[in-house]
Amino acid sequence: MIDISNEKRRNALERVFFHDVLNVVGSLHGISSVLAENNDFKEIKGFTPHLQAITDEITLQIKEFRQLSSAEKEDLQVKISIIDAMLVLQQLKRTFMPHPIFKDKILAVDIRAEKLIHLSDSSLLSRILGNVVKNAAEASVAGGKISISCNDLGDKVLYQVHHVGVISRNVQMQIFLRSFSTHSSNRGLGTYSMKLFGKNYLGGKVCFKSDEATGTTFYLELPKEYQMKAKRAN
């Protein structure tokens, strides 16, 4: 008998990663083809923001896959620093507002996060919140509003991402499973990585609430003082 669970898990991660990256590269190829046939400098310059967004997305996916692979192998190194919650939320807005998925949508930052400081890994924190924000944008209709905030809970902080959409009961039951996605069988690392990074490496809790009355809110609760040793995900 040979245990192939690690190999199957690695294959699943690679399948999802290559699928997502190839999708983005396809968009890059499409724009480059248009530019190759265009001699109008003004029109060519107009594609610059799109090219920047695509290359940023590719870079982000590669970094996320590298972090996720390390986390799966239990050798991810957590780098703790002082986090200014408001700066984190503002950076999320600057990063995602030019993204195509935010066309005709609103990303609002709650000012209650002002002067809220805690200790954590800024890269993993941004990765978790970025995945939630992207998912919220994909689930929102044109004109929809995605709100991001962080509240002081005494010895903890609570990040929240809210939108008015509702997640079906079937999806709610599977949302944190590896490789589960409402988009296709090749996606689904985003929500899985939220739980893995948030719980096992940042020492926090990741959960959500979704209903017709209030919409959908994802919560990331973190200790203000980082005291966590990496553990294996259940």
Alpha-carbon gap, residue 172 to 167, rounded angstroms: 6
Closest residue by Cα to residue 63 from 95, 30, 100: 95
Identity of the residue numbered 16: V
Alpha-carbon gap, residue 169 to 172, rounded angstroms: 5
8, β-bridge pairs: none
Q: Give the pLDDT of the chain (234 residues) as one tens digit per residue.
A: 444 455 655 666 666 667 667 777 777 777 778 787 777 777 777 777 777 777 877 887 788 778 777 777 777 888 999 999 999 999 999 888 877 788 889 999 988 778 899 999 998 998 899 889 988 998 888 889 999 999 999 999 999 999 998 888 887 777 766 544 444 433 445 677 788 888 889 999 999 999 999 999 999 999 999 765 544 444
Burial of 114 (0-12, 13-18, 19+ CB in 10 A): exposed
Identity of the residue numbered 70: S
CATH class of residue range 81-223: alpha beta
Alpha-carbon gap, residue 144 to 209, rounded angstroms: 18
